[in-house]
Chains A and B, each alone.
Chain A
């Protein structure tokens, strides 16, 4: 690329300098094309083929896509993902939002933000594998410390507690995972919202206070509207992440668990056909990836529109 650029007439000294740009971005562009762009396009191509594991395959048009849309297990996985995600996001953003309100309140002026922020963020640092391992041990229904703790507390109040199989029953497994996911991520959302609040110029608040605005008016008329872009960013990133949910449910439920069917997410469904020995159908899994991408894209655009309309 640099050579091609050099062949052009050097019109001025400035253009000569500008040709250095090719050199600076060359490593990025090469690696980007090979490891990012090519795999995305390759997945698209494979989604139109009947490739199984390795070896020969032929183009079969939209067959894979038809199959994805007809498969009730795909829809079940999508429903599981959405269900877990909604519980997770309500808790995560709700908590982050409440915390943001508390720490940005002009009347109470809470102290200790740096310390609380760090502690709330801590669960987000830990590898999902460690979190999954820790919680599946803590939540084991017979031996787990969590049930024993509740039992001890119940006993002191003279109550009886029937141990709940948090991760092993259809009724609770999805919610348990959603709560753990929220526990991992609310600190992250809180820091983002708080960064937004701190980015708002102090002048606005002072001017409003001088005009005699109460704290709720300040919150509703200044803080919220100015926070909208950041809330949108937080909502969209957590949507993209949430619909790709994989690590926690995959690690916390073995395929033999009775609750597996209620927590299998779209990514776990994709993994099954993409990478689990014995069930690999690469072409089909590629189509699943693109269907999921289309869903994420549609919901993101919808979300953007929703936020935009409020602005008018």
Chain B
């Protein structure tokens, strides 16, 4: 076979695989506009006109926008706190020599490898004791101590921040915190954005922890609400509404991806290369 034909076959296979990735989402969008009866009788890629019906039916059960608002109330502060304090910690570890520096760094490495399930029960017990069940505090505050983010930012600071810059600021009489905010933050902001977007998506999609911490319907984040919806919705009768629910839950994250895919890809790449 010729070079061109082989290359053509490779492209064909790559595109096929891309379609496999997209097909479920396409079916989801189309089915969100069809009635339950239509969906269970035939499949098609042509939208129907039941979108409004499905919408009304879905929101009879749950107001997904409340879930979305709750998810934002968790994910936005958690992301901002995580990015800022990780930057602060990473800078502290990278630029200052003090007792315990190495111990902290060792603990960070260790906790990057420790699976999350190990702390789950103790974490829940702690939150119960502190009366934090059904609040967003346990979902937001721990973001301040994100070992993975600190590790990544520390490497970034060591490789891209010339110490002479800070020394110059010291000579000019700048306070250390002031230098951090005015000099360091702008320099490391691309790395913080990268980690921040991944953090946002992680927080937005998180299921297990919010499910354990939140027990009241009106507090549910979107993933928890989706899981409850699945349990309470008779899927056979409400297929259209089901697809619509999934579509609504997926769209915000697709939008984020459209704008930030570059950052997201580069953060995964960085995760691999750092080792």
Contacts and interface: CB of A to CB of B under 8 A. Distances in A.
A218 interface: no
B40 A148 contact: yes
Given A119-B18, A127-B226, A230-B275, A27 B249 contact: no
Contact of A192 (B18, B180, B254, B268): B268
Given A123-B21, A140-B235, A244-B117, A234 B272 contact: yes
Given A35-B145, A125-B257, A143-B36, 7 more contacts: A18-B97, A24-B176, A37-B107, A128-B205, A129-B249, A130-B249, A251-B230
Contact of B222 (A19, A125, A127, A137): A127
Given A17-B96, A191-B269, A32 B236 contact: no
Nearest to B228: A129
Interface in B113-161: 113-126, 128, 138, 141-142, 144-145, 147, 150
B170 A247 contact: no
B96 A116 contact: no
B15 to A, nearest CB: 9
Contacts, number: 290
**Range, interface on chain A:** 35 or more
B63 interface: no
Interface stretch (A39-47, A69-77, A203-211): A39-47
Interface of A: 5, 17-25, 27-29, 31-32, 34-43, 46, 54, 95, 99, 102, 107-108, 110, 112, 116-123, 125-130, 132-138, 140, 142-143, 145, 148-149, 152, 183, 187-188, 191-196, 198-199, 229-230, 232-234, 240, 243-244, 246-247, 251, 254, 267, 270, 274-275, 282, 285-286, 289-290, 292-293, 296, 300
A118 to B, nearest CB: 5
Given A27-B88, A43-B120, A244-B117, A143 B273 contact: no
B159 to A, nearest CB: 14
Interface string B218-234: 00001110110111000
B21 A122 contact: yes
A295 B246 CA distance: 36
Contacts of B115: 240, 243-244, 292-293, 296
A112 B144 CA distance: 38
A142 B235 CA distance: 11
B11 interface: yes
Interface of B: 3, 6-7, 10-11, 14, 17-18, 20-22, 24-25, 27-28, 31, 36, 39-43, 85-86, 88-89, 91-93, 95-99, 101, 104, 107, 111, 113-126, 128, 138, 141-142, 144-145, 147, 150, 170, 176-177, 180, 201, 204-205, 207-208, 212, 222-224, 226-227, 229-231, 235-236, 239, 242-243, 245-246, 249-250, 253-254, 257, 261, 264-265, 268-273, 275
B129 to A, nearest CB: 10
Given A275-B212, A293-B114, A24 B145 contact: no
B122 A191 contact: no
Contacts of A232: 275
A108 B10 contact: yes
Contact of B269 (A37, A135, A143, A194): A194
Nearest to A39: B122
A267 to B, nearest CB: 6
Given A148-B42, A292-B117, A133 B95 contact: no
